[in-house]
Structure 1
Amino acid sequence: MGNPVKVLHLEDSEIDHRLLVRAVHESGLQAQFLRLDEQAAFMDALHTQSFDIILMDFRLPGFTALEAWSQVQSLPSHPPCVIVSGAIGEQAAVSAIQTGISDYLHKDRIAEIGRVIQRAMHLHKIEEERIKAQQALSLSEQRIRELARHLQTSLEAERAAISREIHDDIGGSLTALKLDLAWIKRHSNHQPTLTRLVAAEEMLSLALAATQRIMQNTRPAILDQGLSACVEWLVAGHSRRTGKTVNLINDLTSEALPDAFRLAAYRIVQEALTNAGKYAPESDVSVEVSDAGGTLTIEIRDSGPGFELSRLQSSRGFGLKGLSERAESIGGWLDISSTPKRGTSITLTAPLSWAADNRQGDSRE
C-alpha cells in the first residue's frame, strides 16, 4: 500500500475541500489532508511540515495561488503544486504553469484529481532526478577541470625542475668537458689525437645545442624577461622555421604579471604558432598583444586552410582543448574561429584583475 500522500490544500471553501477529498479517495489514492485558507498559517505549515503535494485554489483570502507558489519556490526542496480552481481563465492557467506550477484542474473536473496528483508527483520526481544528475555532472566536470589545472601546474613544475637539472648538471658538465678538450687540444701535437679532438668537439657542440633546445622546450629562460620578450621570441622562432615574416603588434604597457599568468599566455601563443606552422606553413601569420581596458588580449591569426569547428568536438587531440583549460586557469577564456579556406583565429582574453588578485595572494604566502 505504501505511505499515504500528504496533501496541503489551500482552499477557503469547506464544501469544495470535502468534494476534493472524496474525489481523491474514490480514485483509490490514499492521502492525508491539511486544509488552510490563511497566508500566515500557510507560511507556518510550509516551514514546519513536509508535504508531497500542494493543491491551491487560485484566489484565497488576502493572497493568490501565484503568491503562494513564489513562497514555495523559495524552499531549497519543494513539493509540486497544482491549481484546483474554477475562477481562472485558460490564459491565466497557462501563465501559471509557465512559472513552474505543475498543473491546473478546473473544479468541474474534480473527479480527475487523483490522476492529476499522481502525474504531478511523477513528473516532479523525474525533474528532481534530472536536477540531481545535472548537479552531479556539473560537480564531475568541475573536478575534471580542477584535475586538469593541477596536472598542468604539476607538469610545468616538473618541466622547470628538469630544465634546472639539465642546466646545472648536464650543461655544467658538458661545458667543463669542452674546456678540458680545448686544453688537451692546445697541449697536444699528436695529429691522430688532434683529429679525434676535433670530432669530439663537434659532437660536444651538438650535445650542448641539444641541451639548450631541451631547456627551451621545457621551461625557457625567456619567461623571466616578461611576456613581451616571450611573444617576440616565439614570433622570431616561427619566422625562422617557416621562412615567413610574422606581423607582430605589441601594445603591452605592463609586464607585472605573475608567473602562472605569463606561463599560460606563453603556452597558448606557442601552441597556436606551432599549429599554424604545422597546418598552414605557407600562410601569413599575425600576432596582436594588448592589455587595453584592464584585459590581456592575445590574438593569433593565419590565412591558412582553416577547418570546420565541429572537428574540435570529435577530435581526439588535446592541443586546442588544452589551450582552453589554460585560459580558464588564469580566469580567462579562449575563442577559436575558423572557416575552411579562410584561415584560423585564436584569441585569449583574460582580465588583468585576476593577475593582480593572484599576485597579492602569492605575496601573502
Structure 2
Amino acid sequence: MPSAPHAPDIAAKPTRILHLEDSRVDHTLVKFALQRAQLPSELDLVDTLEDFQRHLSEQVYDLVLADYHLPGFTGLDAWQTMRTQGHDLPFVILSGAIGEEAAVEALHQGVSDYLLKDNMARLAHVIRRALEVSAARRAKARADAALAESRHRLAELAEHLQVSIEHERADIAREIHDDIGGALAAVKLDLAWLSRRTLDEDMRQHLDTALEMLQHALGASQRIMMNLRPPILDQGLVAAVQWLGASFERRTGIRVAVRASSERIEVPREVQLVAYRTAQEALTNVAKHASEASAVDIDLSDREGVLTLEVSDNGPGMSAEARRKAKSFGLLGLSERASKVDGWLDVSSSSAGTSIILSVPLEGGAGTHSDPEENHS
C-alpha cells in the first residue's frame, strides 16, 4: 500500500526558499509539488545572477533551489557566488538535464543535492534531507567550536597552573635555603662547639649522633631545594642536565651518560625550564617503570635550529597500563609544556627500552653552539 502523506503541521514555520529558475512553468510545478507533499514553504523567484545576489543580501532564506542551465551562467556559478557572499545555505540543484559529470562536480564542490525535474515527486524529500543535513552540520560545527574553546581554556589553565607551580617551587626552595637551611647550619655549629668542649664521653657520643642526624637533615633539605628549583639552572641547560644525571646515578646506581652538542647551549629561559623538567620526569619514569635498566643515555643538541633532548634507557619498556598512567599525569603535562614553547614530545617504548624525545624549534634558524665537537659527560 502507498505510504500515507505527511500530516500537515499548522504550527510549522514555512521553509524560506530562494528559487533560481528562468521558467515560470517550472516554478509553478515546484510550488505545486511542495504543496502536494505538505511542505510549508515560501518561494521567491529570481532568474538572473544579479537578482540572486540582491535577494541573498536583503532576505533570510533557509535553502536555495536552482536550475543548472540558466541564461549566461550555471547553477554551480550561483553556488560559488553564494559562498563568496559568505552565505552557508543548503543548495539543491533542480535541472532537466544536468549530466552525470556536472552533477558529480557540483556535489564535489559542496552542493547539498541534485534532482531531475522529471522526478519532481521527490523534491520535498530532497529538500527535507538537505535541511536536516545542514542543521546537523551546523550543530557539529558549533560543538567543534565549543570543544576547541574548551580545550583552549584547559590549555590556558594548565599553563597557569604550571607557572604557579614553578613560582611556588622557587618560593619554597628559597624558604628552605634561607630559613630551614640557615637554622640547621646554626644548630650544627652550636652542637659542634658543645662536642668540642664537653668532657663527658656519653654526652659527646649523643652530640656526635645528633650532628650526624643534623647533617642528614641538611643534606635532605639541600636535595629537596635542588629538586624544587636547582640553582645550577643559572649555569645553563647543559650543566643542569649533567647535574641531574649525576644525581640520579648516585641515587639509583644506574649509569647515566650525558652527551651535548656543545658545552653551553643558549636557549630562552622558558625553553630551558621545559627541557630540564622533561629530563627530570624522564628519569623519574626510569626509576618507577624501568628499575631493571642498567644505563640511561641523555642526548642534548641544538643543531639545525632545533633543541632536541632525548632520554633513553635499556630497561624492559613500559607496560600498557604504566604508559596510560604516565600519559595521564607526567608525560601529558610535559606535552602541554612542550606545546607552550611551540615544541612537541615523542614517546616510544618496546622490550629494548623507552625513549622520550623533546623537540623545540629555536628562533634564528641554526643552532647557537660554538664547539663543533660533542661534549661528553
After TM superposition, the score normalised by the length of structure 1 is 0.90
Partner deviation per Cα, 1:39-81 (whole Å, 9 max, x = no partner): 2222222233211000111232333222322233345552111
Moved more, 59-68 or 292-301: 59-68
Any residues of structure 2 matched to 1:129-168 within 5 Å, and which? Answer: 129-168=139-178
Question: What corresponds to 1:306 in structure 2?
Answer: 317
Question: What corresponds to 1:4 in structure 2?
Answer: 14
Q: Post-superposition shift, 1:308?
A: 6.3
Question: What corresponds to 1:361 in structure 2?
Answer: none
Q: Are 1:17 and 2:27 counterparts?
A: yes
The 1-side partners of 2:327 and 2:304 are apart by 36
Question: What corresponds to 2:7 in structure 1?
Answer: none
The 1-side partners of 2:239 and 2:190 are apart by 35
Question: What corresponds to 2:299 in structure 1?
Answer: 288
Letter in 2 for 1:297: T
Any residues of structure 2 matched to 1:106-185 within 5 Å, and which? Answer: 106-185=116-195
Within the candidate set 236, 252, 276, 1:266 is matched to: 276
Question: What corresponds to 2:260 in structure 1?
Answer: 250
Q: Are 1:343 and 2:330 counterparts?
A: no
**Structure 1 pair 296/103, CA: closer, same or farther in 2 (3 Å)?**
same
Question: What corresponds to 1:324 in structure 2?
Answer: 335
Q: Post-superposition shift, 1:244?
A: 3.6
The 1-side partners of 2:85 and 2:65 are apart by 17
**Structure 1 pair 315/14, CA: closer, same or farther in 2 (3 Å)?**
farther
Any residues of structure 2 matched to 1:146-225 within 5 Å, and which? Answer: 146-225=156-235
The 2-side partners of 1:310 and 1:54 are apart by 54
Letter in 2 for 1:250: A
Question: What corresponds to 2:370 in structure 1?
Answer: none
Question: What corresponds to 2:243 in structure 1?
Answer: 233
The 1-side partners of 2:339 and 2:26 are apart by 58
* Conserved? CA contact 1:331–1:354, under 8 Å: no
Letter in 1 for 2:151: E
The 1-side partners of 2:321 and 2:82 are apart by 43
Letter in 2 for 1:266: Y
* Conserved? CA contact 2:169–2:228, under 8 Å: yes
Q: Post-superposition shift, 1:83?
A: 0.9
Q: Post-superposition shift, 1:309?
A: 6.5
Q: Post-superposition shift, 1:122?
A: 1.1
* Conserved? CA contact 2:313–2:355, under 8 Å: yes
Moved more, 174-183 or 39-48: 39-48
* Conserved? CA contact 2:236–2:264, under 8 Å: no
Question: What corresponds to 2:47 in structure 1?
Answer: 37
* Conserved? CA contact 2:93–2:114, under 8 Å: yes
Could you list the runs of 5+ residues in structure 1 that have no partner in the other structure? 356-365
Cα RMSD (Å): 2.3
**Structure 1 pair 309/110, CA: closer, same or farther in 2 (3 Å)?**
farther
Partner deviation per Cα, 1:17-51 (whole Å, 9 max, x = no partner): 22112211221112111122222222222233211
* Conserved? CA contact 2:305–2:364, under 8 Å: no
**SS of equivalent to 2:124:** helix
Q: Are 1:86 and 2:96 counterparts?
A: yes
**SS of equivalent to 2:65:** strand
The 1-side partners of 2:111 and 2:168 are apart by 55
Count matched residues.
Answer: 354
**Structure 1 pair 46/293, CA: closer, same or farther in 2 (3 Å)?**
farther
Percent identical among aligned pairs is 47
The 2-side partners of 1:153 and 1:284 are apart by 32
**Structure 1 pair 148/184, CA: closer, same or farther in 2 (3 Å)?**
same
* Conserved? CA contact 1:82–1:102, under 8 Å: yes
The 2-side partners of 1:81 and 1:264 are apart by 50
Partner deviation per Cα, 1:329-349 (whole Å, 9 max, x = no partner): 22211111223x132221111
Q: Post-superposition shift, 1:103?
A: 0.9
Q: Post-superposition shift, 1:10?
A: 1.3
After TM superposition, the score normalised by the length of structure 2 is 0.87
Q: Post-superposition shift, 1:211?
A: 0.5
**SS of equivalent to 2:363:** helix
